[in-house]
């Protein structure tokens, strides 16, 4: 895949950003071409070797239609998760590493629901925060909105799911 300055991209496990520069840099005595990506959710810049960009999963931000499909997934039923937090954490980590927006959305949805039902361990709470930030940054770039609005969109979609869970708790008692 060919990347250019100005492309909006997703760096798995880090989030979305814009390619600000393509430059030659010497690292450990070797000169290579690097993409400079400014990440949306932080002031951080990452430097990615052009030759390794595809191998590490760098991809262009999805279009609005795909974001809509992703939002539908957020409001869908949760998928079965292990009751063992360590297995669940490893499975979710693998999903996030793929960089696939649907996998990331599934982790956000499932952990949000679990948090509302039973609470989360500290490591899972941190994962939820980081994964939500990754999803939020891609939504923001794709829809051309700020991070605050992207967070509101996620909240609005997840609110439907949370209300359904709260309703079930009331019915059970």
Q: At 150, phi and psi to the nearest 5? A: -60, -40
pLDDT at 142 over 60: yes
Distance CA 110, CA 68 (A): 18
Mean pLDDT of 60-72: 95
pLDDT at 161 over 80: no
Q: Does residue 83 sit in the same domain as residue 113?
A: yes
Residue 1 covered by a domain: no
Q: Does residue 125 sit in the same domain as residue 157?
A: yes
Domain limit, last residue, from 37, 60, 83: 60
What's the pTM?
0.84
Residues paired with residue 31 on neighbouring β-strands, in sequence order? 26
Distance CA 33, CA 24 (A): 4
Q: Does residue 108 sit in the same domain as residue 48?
A: no
Full DSSP string of 107-128: HHHHHHHHHHHT---HHHHHHH
Mean pLDDT of 18-23: 96
Distance CA 87, CA 80 (A): 12
Q: Does residue 53 sit in the same domain as residue 76?
A: no
Q: Identify the domain containing residue 101 by its residue range.
A: 64-172
Q: What's the structural domain count of the chain? A: 2
Residue 16 in tokens: 């979305």
pLDDT at 171 over 80: no
Of the pLDDT bands very low, low, confident and very high (cuts 50, 70, 90), residue 80 is confident
Distance CA 142, CA 150 (A): 10
Q: Does residue 16 sit in the same domain as residue 82?
A: no
pLDDT at 143 over 60: yes
CATH number at 127 reads: 1.20.58.1290
Between residues 119 and 62, the one the model is more confident about? 62
Poorest-pLDDT segment among 27-31, 131-135, 156-160: 156-160
Distance CA 29, CA 23 (A): 16
H or E element that contains 55: none
Residue 3 covered by a domain: no
Predicted local confidence at residue 173, as pLDDT: 34
Poorest-pLDDT segment among 4-13, 106-115, 159-168: 159-168
Predicted local confidence at residue 160, as pLDDT: 56
Distance CA 95, CA 134 (A): 12
Residue 97 covered by a domain: yes
């Amino acid at each position: 895949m060919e990347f250019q300055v100005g492309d909006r991209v997703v760096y798995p496990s880090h989030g979305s950003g814009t390619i600000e520069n393509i430059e030659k840099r010497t690292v450990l005595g070797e000169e290579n071409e690097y993409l400079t990506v400014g990440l949306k959710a932080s002031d951080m810049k990452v430097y990615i070797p052009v030759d390794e960009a595809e191998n590490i999963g760098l991809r262009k931000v999805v279009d609005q239609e795909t974001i809509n499909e992703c939002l539908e997934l957020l409001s869908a039923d949760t998928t079965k998760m292990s009751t063992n937090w360590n297995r669940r954490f490893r499975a979710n980590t693998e999903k996030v590493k793929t960089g696939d927006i649907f996998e990331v959305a599934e982790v956000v949805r499932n952990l949000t629901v679990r948090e509302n039902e039973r609470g989360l361990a500290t490591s899972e709470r941190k994962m939820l925060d980081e994964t939500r930030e990754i999803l939020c940054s891609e939504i923001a770039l794709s829809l051309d909105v700020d991070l605050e609005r992207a967070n509101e969109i996620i909240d609005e979609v997840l609110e439907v799911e949370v209300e359904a869970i709260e309703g079930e708790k009331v019915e059970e008692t």
